[in-house]
Structure 1
């Protein structure tokens, strides 16, 4: 539901001006994949490489955001949709500031990822599929979540009893079971270099 009696207030400094000051093209790297696939690990590695290049970035991590902004949401399908809606709005604000933004969320539903893409200018949404077999994710299980899900202690767990829509045509397809963290991160940075987001 839209808030009533509000009017959009234009700002004097444009998105283009902010990006030019930072000498980069703003974009949103949208990392998606199963729990334990390596989304946060790869996103952090990319962020570090971009920082070394003098880029202006920000990383929105799924668990971290649920400690604050989305602390009132659970993991039902409806809550997952609202989780992604809020993150999409925050990420849009950050790209408006001229930043290269990363979001590391499972974001299991293709429709939600499409909704996030629609909020941005053409070419700014970059879907990064962290493609890791569920067997590998379960072996890693860094938070012990798969073990709890298999024991029935966690409901609506993606890949176990909740669906994950595999991206059909991601801009970047990363296979963490075949490459090192640094190789995965460099693959993403190379994409940003190729398409002129960073110099």
Structure 2
């Protein structure tokens, strides 16, 4: 892990992989709750963790450098959200073919795996869900669709995701949900935040 300054009030932790990102995200959140870290926000991404709003970046970097992120810190302890999912996505048969199984088996694989929000991005409320085994990674579409409907459940690379609003997208569509994932009137607006456990339960 490498720590880099970002402006005058933030630090960026550069990690080796997504597992290390999750370890540091959970460790930093725990330290902040315990009063050992002063920061306005902790924002994980695919390979980095942004620690924003620190009063003294140099001193904070020294503190973090002296800490060790416990393996899988906080993993499995986040709140669980069950997302009722209708598995009728137009790319589901293609995903099943890639996995060399039939469609019912593909559905059981997805719905039977507990996922976790690794980070959010792309669009407000769009959560990148990790936890699918590496052999189940699927490619993005060669050309993105001009419009993917809100609530579409999809796979791309090692992640699953749910489109919170209608938007272009190149992920493989496997299902859909009626659950509202982003609402500016809610606090927090995003239903799925980093660390949340997610199950895509057949509706």
Same fold flag (TM > 0.5): no
- The structure where helix makes up a greater share of residues is 1
- Normalised by the length of structure 2, the TM-score is 0.26
- Normalised by the length of structure 1, the TM-score is 0.26
Higher relative contact order (CA 8 A, sep 6+): 1
- The structure where strand makes up a greater share of residues is 2
Higher-Rg structure is 2
